[in-house]
């Protein structure tokens, strides 16, 4: 079975631009969570979606938004990119919503803002 799939794997954007990152969960998983991992740090929670509804939001500005589609795939959108948005963006899927048990992470999208 395929794991969590993220695209693209690498991306370079200019300050002020917007970006869309995509995630396909493991088949049968209805929950998708997004994390930002800055170099040398642990991942930080951005959003969780379950059954197309937002179930949690981390401490990130409104420039960050996400959505989940009927097939449970998800997009993370970031507007007005800043240099500080450069990071590895990770998607995790699970079959549960109220617990992180069974989280499986994708390999991430490496975003570089120049």
Partner 1 sequence: GENVEQHPSTLSVQEGDSAVIKCTYSDSASNYFPWYKQELGKGPQLIIDIRSNVGEKKDQRIAVTLNKTAKHFSLHITETQPEDSAVYFCAASKELTGGGNKLTFGTGTQLKVEL
Q: How far is CA 15 from CA 18, 19, 29, 81, 113, in A?
A: 9, 11, 34, 5, 6
DSSP 3-state assignment of 14? Answer: coil
Does residue 104 touch partner 1 according to CB under 8 A?
yes
In the range 25-84, which residues lie near partner 1 by CB under 8 A? 31, 33, 35, 40-45, 48, 50, 54-59
Q: Is 8 in the site for partner 1 (CB under 8 A)?
A: no
Interface with partner 1 includes 103 (CB under 8 A)?
A: yes
Beta strands in 43-103 (DSSP E): 44-50, 53-57, 64-68, 74-78, 87-94
Interface residues toward partner 1, by CB under 8 A: 4, 31, 33, 35, 40-45, 48, 50, 54-59, 90, 92, 96-101, 103-108
């Amino acid at each position: 079975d395929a794991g969590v799939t993220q695209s693209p794997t690498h991306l370079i954007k200019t300050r002020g631009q917007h970006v869309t990152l995509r995630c396909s969960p493991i088949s049968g998983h209805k929950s998708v969570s997004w994390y930002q991992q800055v170099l040398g740090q642990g991942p930080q929670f951005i959003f969780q979606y379950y059954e197309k509804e937002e179930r949690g939001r981390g401490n990130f500005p409104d420039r960050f938004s996400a959505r989940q589609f009927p097939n449970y795939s998800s997009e993370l959108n970031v507007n007005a990119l800043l240099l500080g948005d450069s990071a590895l963006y990770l998607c995790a899927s699970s079959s549960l919503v109220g617990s992180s048990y069974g989280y499986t992470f994708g390999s991430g999208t490496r975003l570089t803002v120049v």
